[in-house]
Structure 1
Amino acid sequence: MFRTAVIAGVGLIGGSMALGLRQRGLAGRVIGYDASSDALHEAEALGVIDEARATPGEWLRDADLVVLAAPVKALGPLARELAPFLNPQALVTDVGSVKGGIAAELERLGVRHFVPGHPMAGSERGGVQHASAALLENAVWVLTPTETTPLTALSRVRMLVEQLGAAPVVMPPDAHDTLVATISHLPYLASLALTHMVARDERLSLLAAGGFRDLTRVASGDPRMSRDMVVENRAALREALQRFTRQLEHLAETLDQPEELLEAAVEGKRTRDSLPVVKRSLLPPRFDLVVAIPDRPNQLGIITNALGQAGVNIKDIEVLSVREQGGAVRLGLETPDDVQRAGELLRAQGFETRGRG
């Protein structure tokens, strides 16, 4: 699709995009641009990029794709650094989790072929050393064109997203920021609140198990980047916090009304089980097999090896719980037949399984 792609910011997401471009043959050459020489050296050593650049210049004129992959707070300054050297016909996109600010900044800079984007993928482990093309596969990738975004540019970025194995969803920038305030930025603040409660009472840490760990996973992300993300979207986040507080107050009232609390619990289960992140309704359907894993070495390896040798493709895997006595994983498979076949194979090896889909 592109002769020369520039990934400006070779961290987790930028590095994953670079790998996706290279592994899927979408770019003839992938150049990494980063202020950190260490990140560039590591990216080259790992084969993530073909060439490294630490300063902007005329070399940017050759790029027909430029991806701004810096943290939210750094996107504006990064765009201002690169804009004077960009080819006017270059396709430009970004991966920031807040869209309103960067959309306005690129419009002000006169970058015509800019399509704001946000891949809903990531990890609490940052850095190019954790980059993987698979990180972006099956991810929902939000594109937020403005009134001045050329339709041809939107079409090309949509095609790029699809070629990287993700599912594009198009909406206005302000709608995106309102939605992620609730489904991404609010959970981060909630996880901080929970971890702070544990930090202030050491007895709580003795009892913190799987459910607490799952709810607070995002608190393990980079503190500065996470801080910048929520501050950048603070107006929408304040509204989300107000709605969340009202929900908590309502649930507190139901503690004296068990039937009403049961109704809330049933609604919560129904909603959670139907979410795209669980059902992947925006993507090709997945069919799940839940496998109980005893607390012995290499159990996960035995499972994946057995299914691999049988030709059963695992499209998604999620650790549901880990305890001293063992745990469970959810395997996302392609067809109901795969679920049945995988269940029979694993039960024959002594594993307990349960299909769902």
Structure 2
Amino acid sequence: MVRNKILIVGLGLIGGSLAKAFKKCGYEIHAYDIDKSAIEKAICEGVVKERIDDLNETEDEYAFSFICVPVLESIPILGKLSSKIKNGIITDVGSTKTHICKYSIEHKIANFIGGHPMAGTEKIGYKYSFDELFNGAYYFITPTEMNRKEDIEKLKNLLQSIGCKVEEVDYVLHDKITAVISHLPHVVSAGLVNMLNSNEIYCKFAGGGFKDITRISSSSPKMWADISISNKNMLLELIDAYIELLKNFKTSLKSENYNEIFNYFEKAKIIRDTIVSDEK
């Protein structure tokens, strides 16, 4: 294993941004992607040193390997990498952690540590990647009892070197958190856009407020279909809770209960203002 080599599997927005950030820190980047044009572009830019054509022939030479593909594709790739890479740390960037962490436990993959950067944009693909994407962003890691403390610290130090604020959490808790703050909002955002139903008059006048609240609906449909399936149970609970919230608001609106309607919006404002204030 060479200490300064990193393997990136999946060179999209997240994988590409990681590659650029790590290259900036002095690491040698090797990459695999089914989209050969993304790899070639990264090589031409001097970001990627070497293209990997077959993961089944991966050598045990990487200090870190990052799996940056849609979550339902992550486990087969982890299976391939773990059969070859025994010394370096393997991690992923998936938005759900329960499935892959349980897989690593069942198959005794002690050098796998789950990860998830709370960073990104609505854009898709390597061409939108940039090295500052993770600067100041929260980055979850979800170690299990199998992981060595020194490996956990190595991964933390690596992520902190590109500006991440690393948070260590249990993988089940991670999926609860992301379901509330990320997965349900994407479902709601897509629902609001789908209500337009391509109606020209609605689309014409969909202004700044609507575009702000639905910006995330421009994200990858493949990625969000995978996330929804992989975090199904958490998401179903939250959808039921959200429907109940809307039903209560509907009841208040029907009866013109001004105080209840006012409280609905006031509570949201207080919580939202607190969130924004904490970011300053």
Name 2:21's counterpart in structure 1. 20
RMSD: 1.8
Equivalent AA in structure 2 for residue 164 of structure 1: I
Q: CA shift at 1:2, angstroms?
A: 3.6
Name 2:171's counterpart in structure 1. 173
Q: CA shift at 1:59, angstroms?
A: 4.9
- Closer/same/farther in 2, CA of residues 191 and 160 from structure 1, 3 Å limit: same
1:1-357 equivalence runs, <5 A: 2-25=3-26, 27=27, 29-56=28-55, 59-86=58-85, 88-199=86-197, 201-255=199-253, 256-275=256-275, 278-280=276-278, 286=280
Q: CA shift at 1:162, angstroms?
A: 1.2
8 Å Cα contact 1:116-1:145 kept in structure 2: yes
- TM-score, normalisation: structure 2: 0.93
Equivalent AA in structure 1 for residue 24 of structure 2: Q
Task: Single out whichever of 260-269 and 60-69 deviates more from structure 2.
Answer: 260-269
User: Distance in 2 between the 1:109 and 1:267 partners?
Assistant: 46
Q: Name which one, 1 or 2, has greater alpha-carbon Rg.
A: 1
Q: CA shift at 1:11, angstroms?
A: 1.0
Please state which structure has a larger fraction of its residues in strand: 1
User: Distance in 1 between the 2:211 and 2:217 partners?
Assistant: 10
Number of aligned positions between the proteins: 277
Task: Single out whichever of 202-211 and 65-74 deviates more from structure 2.
Answer: 202-211
Equivalent AA in structure 2 for residue 199 of structure 1: N
Q: CA shift at 1:260, angstroms?
A: 2.4
User: Distance in 2 between the 1:42 and 1:48 partners?
Assistant: 9
User: Distance in 1 between the 2:106 and 2:58 partners?
Assistant: 23
Please state which structure has a larger fraction of its residues in helix: 2
Which one has more relative contact order, counting CA pairs under 8 Å at least 6 apart? 2
- TM-score, normalisation: structure 1: 0.73
Q: CA shift at 1:36, angstroms?
A: 2.5
Counting aligned pairs with the same residue, the percent is: 29
User: Distance in 2 between the 1:57 and 1:260 partners?
Assistant: 60
Structure 2 gap ranges (5+)? none
